[in-house]
Structure 1
């Protein structure tokens, strides 16, 4: 029997008798004994673990020994070991995490991390890369640690996982939080690392999904992540960078930064990949029906990958209709789901598609959702309260879920086709160490051409580094060609050079063009740029237009906004209404949207998505960043002309903090909805540090406030 025949045999029969189990174990042992076939032998072991109840019990000890021989010590039944096997197995026990055993390669990597060397790791999703992070933190070896995550979903997952270490470490998630404790974990995006000016001595840093350092993947945030790496590398030589499916890193990087590069395909789960349809030009409706028929047969947690939020919403709507036509009804009795539905009814809209979906134990996850909702959806899915989760790439990039099945329904990520790296990332979400031995992938398209990812690190190579990155690199670290590229920058006066450096990551040419324009037509621009607080339309439109025309790259996302004028109108409307619900109601009833989409339900879904996309893309980060940069520029020009400057930071802070007091807005980072924070604001007027706020919240009598259950539970999750 070849491997395929063996796998087919063990999946279809109900019992593996003694002789057959012996024969299979002998074959598995031979595979494990040969370096060329060892990975196949390990997969064989994993697949046998998945059918453990079928195996003749008298041969369990043999298979248990093979589990150990495969290096899968996390799956070994240690009570059945004896003598040297038992002693050898104990070697792989975690020193700091209770009831955790590492597999063979994890232990090798821990030795590197515990040495004087740093580690750069490429390993599959199911390797257990993040478990090494927790071992480092649990060891308390380092006083101050920085962890960089690329997405809010990953930040939330990591924060929840590390919450148990709050007695020893203060966990800082916001740049306004200045910790006074000796031991701190900074949990930031690359942007926040660059912005934060109050780091103590950093002992160790971690960059998750480090392939995002690469400029070649056309990620607009890559230069800032490189700058974060450069900044942290100046503070400490010890680091751990991790990511999946990476072929190589730049030559010379490990030597310069005293690190080890480790690439492996070691996996703790096996994956079955099945083609749902072989037809390349299948009709849209037929394809959707095939998906819905498939989903009704899958009864374990299932992720459905969609190319965009709009596609996810559309599919969910059609799936609910399909379920109803089959005679199925709403079946959600979960109290957490009911609490979330109640919050949506009060704060968004009773007819929102996600609200409808939750009644059928269906979830939606994408980058435009309010942060606390995204977090709740992932929690409900991991608890199996949600059966089906329609998601985009925001959940695929690094977030660990309890998905047994992944359905690859679309072949695009936004407007672009997914490449082989994306494909591997998506299918890697199926199966879960300790939870599902086998992951199942159902794909509607052939896999892309196998082109592996070579990660360039421009802050090191400097070959593709943009000027915005090069100006932040110290003279002694610049290569000859980089110095030549900076000649124009060095011709600027020192004040302008310092201004451009402070405005990290923002287009240099755009900033210089604005400076030239304001200097040339200062008398015209002065009344339009010298405002503080909330400006009038003409003033804000002038400033937003400057940012729109000179800072945004051609390929950069506009977050659902089509012009500077539209963005100006939305900002002022948001300042007046101060809530997403108010903005939704205003836009839904506007003449523009009423004329554009006649069908009320379709219009409602489009408006809700548009509002959330604009809030997440513009108001949460991009707009405050642009306002702060433009505020610096106008200050420089006004002071040079001996005129009183404006100050845009007031508006930037109001929008970024959701019009909440700054000392309370930090609760947004802990998944507390703004609606709950507004209800308690009058009781916490005094400015408090985060630690003081938590102490006061623990003493607070919440019976004074009319919090609905969802809001109360979110606050209690922070203070428990």
Structure 2
């Protein structure tokens, strides 16, 4: 054993001497895993090699020479915990540049540990206003939970647009929400964009315009910028990262062990199924199963349901029973949970996704998560295995960039030195990712050509001027300039805004029914709902009649259970999965469109008094009390909020109640008292405890 260790150290040292540092680090991590597996203490020689490779957090103090102990202490920083932590060499490099006031765009592996750099910067620099843009609501809550524990005593942590800023603020938003605070904040000390590759249409064609819009408008009020992404080889010249230093880092803290099973499987479905089941039953560990599409999630789910036994676990049985009671008894997830498997996708209720990730982190919880690409942009969790079931991303093939992002989810510092990747479908060919960020034409109408002339071409300036002329003819120059200055429009599609404005000005009588949305009789809504839906024909992923029926049924969301609502919608063949999809579409996409319609009608049809702000508020919060809907982003499901309301612990009908006010109430009460007063069962107690963990501080 000692001879093997010395031989490996010798090999790693030779690689370091010959400047093959990445290969040396990979061999070193495998050697550390060997020590961990066999419970072997590190020797001074091994600690010396760890230091040379820059992996300072892995140093073992007890067996280090004074030089390594010195390095371990020198690279310690305060990241908001009670005790400082040691950064690795490249983390320290980035932190140094940020503390010097530099703006940087960084490409680093998933296992890099980027959050430590952000947290250390906030703790040391103590900026007044920090804005962090993340790609999804799930990452919003994950980031909030991490920062709330550390900084809630000093900063107001804001994740929803209804909250007023405080003296010092950390804003954590998806890009669409970020614009809302542009006029409320004089400046941002730092703009942090996680997964900034999504500014490229190649990687996110639907949402890239809104991210570019945020980068342009918020970037102009930001003193410093820090953009993060994985797997970027080079960054093409573009106006959005101008003046930023691009730093590509290939510095992994775990080793990926790839098993290319697709070579034997080929296209044999039975072999593929047996291979998956073999991996899942080989040993008890945590696995992320990338299915690629919703259809393939069903395929993998059925495979597990038919072949894996139920797990003897009170936690999982309680979870399954809770799902059956509150969502749907015959839902695949209800039965999967009993077999130690969960589902992660972008449609589920936010709290439900968070609860599954929490149960996945438990030793006796879920062992497997079946996922779409939401797992790479919605959660940072620790899994030893990543299994690639299908080389698909929705309707398209996986590109090499996304593939590497997915497999990078295996392994985690201090948990799994070696991440195991099982590839059951042929992966994409290797390619360098050169990030190109062209200016999206959709947002030209929302850009001030004088203020942003340094990022615009002559042709784009000409298009802006032409658009301004058209909109000024419809709205009047003063009104148009006012709306643009207020960032009044939700949509990043300027042409859509223009087409709605033109229709209102030329066909005002066609909008006469708009005010009926304020009626308490939901049968009065139909005509106007269809009119709004038809502004984006084919853009709702379901038939118009089904969507209208869903909106009307959801009016009872606070008063009926989800199983009751599904029974009401049986005639429209709406499954529990459809329910999630339609609710998400209503609260985000449909509500945003209606906000723009309302903004325009106030200016074009103002003499008719059609204001539908109240209805917009209802649908934006899925017809739930506002704070109840907001608390779901914090991990508290509506079903528990309803029980707390009925027990008169918190009055969610109180129009003066704010999200932060509700959190203050929760923090003044104890979990055990709430459980007893609201008669919560064991799993609801578990959820409530998890929710409280997300609103607690370290100090």
Could you tell me the TM-score, scaled by structure 1's length? 0.86
- CA apart distance, 1:219: 2.5
Cα gap change, 1:57 to 1:360, in 2 (>3 Å): closer
- CA apart distance, 1:332: 1.9
Moved more, 439-448 or 630-639: 630-639
Rounded Cα–Cα distance in structure 2 between residues aligned with 1:298 and 1:183 = 48
Show the counterpart of 1:361.
Answer: 340
Match of 1:320 among 293, 298, 305: 305
Show the counterpart of 1:3.
Answer: none
Rounded Cα–Cα distance in structure 2 between residues aligned with 1:218 and 1:28 = 40
- What do the CA deviations read for 1:190-219 (whole angstroms, capped 9, x no partner)? 000013353354211210000011123242
- CA apart distance, 1:469: 4.3
- CA apart distance, 1:22: 2.7
Q: SS of 1:220's equivalent? A: coil
- Does residue 23 of structure 2 align to residue 40 of structure 1? yes
Cα gap change, 1:453 to 1:710, in 2 (>3 Å): same
- CA apart distance, 1:666: 2.6
Show the counterpart of 1:619.
Answer: 586
Name stretches of at least 5 consecutive residues in structure 2 with no aligned partner.
none
Match of 1:676 among 625, 633, 640: 640
Show the counterpart of 1:490.
Answer: 468
Q: SS of 1:219's equivalent? A: coil
Moved more, 487-496 or 232-241: 487-496
Match of 1:705 among 671, 678, 681: 678
Rounded Cα–Cα distance in structure 1 between residues aligned with 2:536 and 2:492 = 7
Rounded Cα–Cα distance in structure 1 between residues aligned with 2:506 and 2:489 = 22
Show the counterpart of 1:575.
Answer: 555
Match of 2:192 among 195, 206, 211: 206
Show the counterpart of 1:433.
Answer: 413
Please say if residues 302 and 403 of structure 1, whose CA atoms lie closer than 8 Å, have aligned partners that are also in contact.
Answer: yes
Rounded Cα–Cα distance in structure 2 between residues aligned with 1:75 and 1:198 = 44
Q: SS of 1:570's equivalent? A: helix
Please say if residues 223 and 505 of structure 1, whose CA atoms lie closer than 8 Å, have aligned partners that are also in contact.
Answer: no
- CA apart distance, 1:21: 3.0
Rounded Cα–Cα distance in structure 1 between residues aligned with 2:432 and 2:123 = 34
- CA apart distance, 1:663: 4.2
Please say if residues 213 and 455 of structure 1, whose CA atoms lie closer than 8 Å, have aligned partners that are also in contact.
Answer: no
Q: SS of 1:185's equivalent? A: strand
Show the counterpart of 2:258.
Answer: 273
- Does residue 168 of structure 2 align to residue 183 of structure 1? yes
Please say if residues 205 and 238 of structure 1, whose CA atoms lie closer than 8 Å, have aligned partners that are also in contact.
Answer: yes
Please say if residues 105 and 228 of structure 2, whose CA atoms lie closer than 8 Å, have aligned partners that are also in contact.
Answer: yes
- What do the CA deviations read for 1:540-598 (whole angstroms, capped 9, x no partner)? 4444444444446x7xx63x413x333222211211455533332223x32x53xxxxx
- What do the CA deviations read for 1:378-430 (whole angstroms, capped 9, x no partner)? 11112232111111110123632110001000111111111001110111011
- What do the CA deviations read for 1:252-297 (whole angstroms, capped 9, x no partner)? 659843x321001111111111112325752334422321122111
Match runs of 1:13-412 below 5 Å: 16-18=1-3, 20-35=4-19, 37-52=20-35, 60-96=43-79, 97=81, 98=83, 100-139=85-124, 141-165=126-150, 166-180=152-166, 182-196=167-181, 197-199=183-185, 201-251=187-237, 256-257=242-243, 259-278=244-263, 282-323=267-308, 328-334=309-315, 337-384=316-363, 385-397=365-377, 399-412=379-392
Q: SS of 1:659's equivalent? A: coil
Cα gap change, 1:285 to 1:307, in 2 (>3 Å): same
Moved more, 130-139 or 701-710: 701-710
Q: SS of 1:660's equivalent? A: coil
- CA apart distance, 1:55: 7.9
Rounded Cα–Cα distance in structure 2 between residues aligned with 1:132 and 1:395 = 22
- CA apart distance, 1:356: 0.9
Please say if residues 149 and 190 of structure 1, whose CA atoms lie closer than 8 Å, have aligned partners that are also in contact.
Answer: yes
Rounded Cα–Cα distance in structure 1 between residues aligned with 2:666 and 2:622 = 20
Runs of 4+ in structure 1 over 6 Å off: 54-59, 535-539
Rounded Cα–Cα distance in structure 2 between residues aligned with 1:89 and 1:544 = 62
Cα gap change, 1:290 to 1:659, in 2 (>3 Å): same
Show the counterpart of 1:529.
Answer: 514
- CA apart distance, 1:655: 1.9
Rounded Cα–Cα distance in structure 2 between residues aligned with 1:95 and 1:699 = 29
- CA apart distance, 1:139: 2.7
Please say if residues 672 and 711 of structure 1, whose CA atoms lie closer than 8 Å, have aligned partners that are also in contact.
Answer: no
- CA apart distance, 1:526: 4.1
Rounded Cα–Cα distance in structure 2 between residues aligned with 1:193 and 1:311 = 34
Match runs of 1:588-599 below 5 Å: 589-590=570-571, 592-593=572-573
The CA RMSD over aligned residues, in Å, is 2.6
Q: SS of 2:301's equivalent? A: helix
Could you tell me the TM-score, scaled by structure 2's length? 0.89
- CA apart distance, 1:144: 1.7
Q: SS of 1:530's equivalent? A: helix
- CA apart distance, 1:333: 2.5
- What do the CA deviations read for 1:173-200 (whole angstroms, capped 9, x no partner)? 11111143x2221111100001335335
